[in-house]
Structure 1
Amino acid sequence: MPRSGEVEVRYVQGNGGPVATTVAAADPLRIVRGLPVRRVRSHPRRRHYAGWFWSATNRDHVLYESRLELDRLWLADFAPGVIRMAAQPMWMCGSDGTSTRRHVPDMLLEHADGGFTVVDVKPEEFARREEAAQVFAWTGRVCASRGWSYEVWTGADPVVLANIRTIGAARRTGSIDTTTVACIEAVAVTGMTIDEVVAAADTQRGPHRCAGEVVVQVVDGGSYGTAVRANGLDLVRGRLYDRNPRSPSWDSGLVRGRLVGGRRPPWS
């Protein structure tokens, strides 16, 4: 295992100021609140789809370099234990035997328990290649020397991801009508499907605009939020999105998603 003092870390503070230090002296709180250390450019014939993800956790945009990284951001944004995330957070440079490694991890996640996780995102077929595996092994050892967790993420269940994207559609709470929220909270009972909650709200006070989205917002962050966010697997496994490509609207799938608790999601 490399000694942490031998590995250099470079990052950019939130005010744009560059910092050069070592892993041993690096402040992860500053890193996770900093800026990406490299610029991602878009150009014709680019093989990867890059962009900016609006994070409800950060209340700000987070950079991604590929659709696979975007998927990991969705999971991090949904995980109740993640309180901050950063993309392209730092350069890591140090010796690995006779080689010198220079690597930018894809993400840094800050957890509510005070821990940090460094994440590299790679398609499974590429992650298994010898060169990539060596870089990941070195990065994992460096992170362990600092007390940070490390993961190489290669993908997740597409149904889970589709469900989380559906829930995420209602996470910008500023666009949610508070009167409708109050009505939904008044009629929602654990065990009801989302479709049943919407129907109950319509029966009580008449049709509500975007009532389905409000139910999802209540599930995600309201009175049911604690159970579902901490035990989100049951809701997500309810297949809020239908696998059938002929029925892409969320209404047909969300009817299966019940307001229940149970197990912790695997990504939290």
Structure 2
Amino acid sequence: MSGRERKHVPDFLLCTDAVPIVVDVKPGHRVARPENAFTFAWTKRVVESKGWWYQVCSEPPRVELENVRFLAGYRRDWLFETGLLGELGVADLDGLPLGEALKAAPGYPRPLVRSALLHLLWTQHFTFDLTVPLNHATMLRRLA
């Protein structure tokens, strides 16, 4: 390019059913730096000339990152009573706010139910809008 040899190793190659996707990851404040912008533009041209897709990713929005970091505290399966997880897993909680869902297992202390529900959010048994701060009004959705 421009009579100069260029080298760049992207961060990820995602092999999808549609087309391969090449991904570069860079902190948001460094994406627009001229040397990075040039490298990304050059990489995009090369990748797209092959019929592949190219993407530059940065950190997620603040609220989304805070939600994920918070839920990560509930990721360890062995810390949760399997009976409670099973009971909540089959309960009809789709469309309920998190605060109402706490009543779904009356035989268990509320702090345990809350922790189990947060674990089920982490494992994506239930989902919610990550772009809004997680709270008692957060609506639970069951994956189809």
Pair 1:108-2:13 in alignment: yes
TM-score, structure 1 normalization: 0.45
Structural RMSD (CA) = 2.7
1:237 is aligned, of 99, 109, 131, to: 131
Which residue pairs with 1:54 in the alignment?
Answer: none
Distance 1:109 1:117 in 2: 5
2:113 is aligned, of 211, 221, 226, to: 211
Q: Which amino acid aligns with 1:153?
A: C
Q: Which amino acid aligns with 1:109?
A: L
**Displacement of 1:188:** 4.2
Aligned length: 141
Q: Per-residue CA shift, 1:116-146, capped at 9, x if unaligned?
A: 3222222344322222111111111222133
Distance 1:119 1:103 in 2: 12
| Runs of 5+ consecutive residues of structure 1 not aligned to the other structure | 1-95, 229-233, 241-253, 262-268
Q: Which amino acid aligns with 2:50?
A: R
TM-score, structure 2 normalization: 0.76
The higher relative CO (CA closer than 8 Å, separation ≥ 6) is in: 2
**Displacement of 1:110:** 3.8
- Identity within the alignment, %: 30
Pair 1:146-2:50 in alignment: yes
Bigger share in strand: 1
Distance 1:156 1:163 in 2: 11
Pair 1:137-2:31 in alignment: no
- Residues 164 and 125 from structure 1, CA distance in 2 versus in 1: closer, same or farther, beyond 3 angstroms? closer
**Displacement of 1:213:** 3.2
Pair 1:126-2:30 in alignment: yes
CA contact (8 A) 1:105 1:120 kept: yes
Q: Which amino acid aligns with 2:46?
A: V
Distance 1:125 1:217 in 2: 33
Which of structure 1's runs of 4+ aligned residues deviate more than 6 A? none
